[in-house]
Amino acid sequence: MNKYCKWMKVKLIALGMISIFSIGASADGTYETVVFIDGNLENASLYQNVNYKRTSQKSIVLGKDYSKENINYIRPDSYKWEKEEYNSEVQDKLILPKTNRYSYLTNVKVKDKFKLERDEKSKSWLE
């Protein structure tokens, strides 16, 4: 099933579809992701919406190679940024207030986010 989903995702990108939508659920809550892919198939906007059953303070460590300037939208508004040592490296950490839901919109490179390579001869993306 997972192999089929990867194949389908690659085919959607190759066919130039403008969005991919996925929903995940766990014991803690619901995670929704919508990806809008630019016409050049190189850049995308990723919208992430997370809803939890319980209200508490949330935080996200974005990773050492991620720039917080790529985030265009964050809700709730009362968030703050802090530096935190994570895996022996100082990284940006997004801290959200006491809430049971949050969402953000960020810019990503298709090849980096989906681990794809572009075949220049056929002008298509390969997994």
User: Quick check: 43 and 56 in contact, CB under 8 A?
Assistant: no
What is this structure's pTM?
A: 0.66
- The strand pairing partners of 51, in sequence order, are 30, 101
The CA distances from residue 112 to 54, 76, 85, 115, in Å, are: 33, 27, 24, 5
| 113: DSSP letter | H
Question: Each residue's pLDDT tens digit in the chain (127 positions)?
Answer: 444 444 444 444 443 444 455 555 555 788 888 888 887 778 888 899 999 888 988 888 877 777 888 899 999 999 999 988 878 888 888 999 899 999 999 988 877 766 666 667 666 655 5
How far is Cα 4 from Cα 69, in angstroms, rounded to an integer?
Answer: 34
User: Hey, is 106 helix, strand or coil?
Assistant: strand
Structurally, the chain folds into a number of domains equal to 1
Residue 96's domain spans which residues?
2-126
